Amino acid sequence: MIGEARFGMRQPADIAQEELEKAAEAAHRLGAKLYVNMNKLFRNHELEALPAYLRAVKAAQVDAVVFGDPAVLLNAREHAPDVPLFWNAEMTGTNSSSASYWGRRGASRAVIARELNEEEIVDLKAKAAMEVQVQVHGMTNIYHSHRNLLESYMQHLGREATLIRKGPDRGLYLVEAERPDEKFPVYEDENGTHVMSPDDICLLEALPELIRAGVDSFYIEPLLKSDEYNETVLRSYREALDRWHRDPEGYAFDEEALENIRRLQSPDRELGFGFLYKEQVY
């Protein structure tokens, strides 16, 4: 999945509109699909750019557009018909009925909230007549604001705002008083302020359960990780999925693969199952 901050949130880097075609070609040459992230919530003045971008996406023969804002849906129907649409409303994609709702309006895939547990994922996939994508690895966004909270804080302290360089991976963390061991990555960009989870999801061990549930796509979040880390993670999941497909009966979890990830895992960040085995209250 690629994109740029004008249309999609939290891309590790911007890939410009002019490069979409080259990127799609490169992916297709390797037998891979290329999706474009347009999951931002748009403002009136940002709508103007949607038609041209969607036409470029279509011309580049990109395999799908990821959206959260209904404005993208309306524009895609007109300017990129036939390009598959994936619905991703982040924290708010929580049940099969809402997934199906967007399915009936053109989405072929639902990207579901990271805050669902396994039972809910299984149930959602069983009931939604569309593809389901689950994040299996990496950090998750847990707070998004259109405010420039870091810049505001620097102003409050009377400091130069230069400390807060825009964009991800600036080494900024929040630490809550009662949780000194948890570091929450935080950054600002043109879309506002993003706070990220203090630990990384790692569902490598749970892959067979998710495959059996019928999950169609396993997403690895590369944000704020080194290339070496991302390559290792990707290889581990690739290898596990391939082994499963070759021989589901004989499949066994490869502890070594997890160890390889652990070796590169930042000591500040725990690897865990996210919300997969959790019960939440409210």
Partner 1 sequence: MNHVAARVKPRYAGKRTRLDKPELLAPAGSLEKLKFAVHYGADAVYIGGQKYGLRSNADNFSFEEMREGVAFAAQYGAKVFVATNIYAHQEDLDGVADYLRQLESVGIAAIIAADPAIVETAQKVAPKLEVHLSTQQSTMNWQAVQFWKEEGLPRVVLARETTMDEIAEMKTRVDIELEVFVHGAMCSSVSGRCVLSNHFTDRDSNRGGCCQSCRWKYDLHADEQSVMEPGENLFTMGSKDLCMIRHVPDLIDAGVDSFKIEGRMKSIHYVASVVNAYRQAIDAYMADPERYELRQEWVDEIGKAANRPLNTGFFYSTPGAEEHIYEPEEKPAPYDFAAVVTDYDEASGIATVQQRSPFRPGMEVEFFGPGGRQFVQRLGEFTDEEGNPLTVARHPLQKIRVKTDRPVAPLDIMRKRL
Q: Does 109 bind partner 1 (CB under 8 A)?
A: no
Q: Does 217 bind partner 1 (CB under 8 A)?
A: no
Among 1, 3, 4, 42, binds partner 1 (CB under 8 A): 42
CB of residue 197 to partner 1, shortest distance in Å:
6
CB of residue 80 to partner 1, shortest distance in Å:
15
107 and 78 in contact (C-beta within 8 Å)?
A: no
Distance CA 56, CA 98 (A): 29
**Interacting residues with partner 1 between 243 and 262 (CB under 8 A):** none
Nearer to partner 1, 14 or 151 (CB): 151
Q: Tell me the CA end-to-end span of the chain in Å, nearest whole number.
A: 34
The alpha carbons of the chain give a radius of gyration, in whole angstroms, of 19
Q: Does 101 bind partner 1 (CB under 8 A)?
A: yes
In a 3-state reduction of DSSP, which class is residue 108? strand
Size of the site for partner 1 (CB under 8 A): 71
Among 17, 37, 133, 148, binds partner 1 (CB under 8 A): 148
Q: How many CB atoms lie within 10 A of CB 47?
A: 14
Distance CA 160, CA 141 (A): 27
Q: Does 205 bind partner 1 (CB under 8 A)?
A: no
Q: Does 5 bind partner 1 (CB under 8 A)?
A: no
194 and 5 in contact (C-beta within 8 Å)?
A: no
Nearer to partner 1, 166 or 243 (CB): 166
Distance CA 206, CA 210 (A): 7
Question: Which of the stretches 11-19, 25-33, 52-60, 156-164 binds partner 1 when contact is defined by CB under 8 A?
Answer: 156-164
Q: Does 98 bind partner 1 (CB under 8 A)?
A: yes
- Kindly state the helix (H) or strand (E) to which residue 217 belongs, with its residue range: strand 217-220
Burial 98-107 (b: 16+ CB within 10 A, else e): bbbebbeeeb
Distance CA 277, CA 56 (A): 41
Q: Does 69 bind partner 1 (CB under 8 A)?
A: yes
CB of residue 180 to partner 1, shortest distance in Å:
9
221 and 257 in contact (C-beta within 8 Å)?
A: no
**Interacting residues with partner 1 between 115 and 134 (CB under 8 A):** 115-116, 120, 123-124, 127
Q: Does 144 bind partner 1 (CB under 8 A)?
A: yes
Among 28, 143, 169, 253, binds partner 1 (CB under 8 A): 143
Burial 1-22 (b: 16+ CB within 10 A, else e): bbbbbbbbbbbbebbebeebee
Q: Does 266 bind partner 1 (CB under 8 A)?
A: no
In this structure, what token pair is assigned to residue 99? 């997934």
Q: Does 263 bind partner 1 (CB under 8 A)?
A: no
**Interacting residues with partner 1 between 173 and 192 (CB under 8 A):** 173-177, 179, 183-184, 186, 192
Nearer to partner 1, 86 or 237 (CB): 86
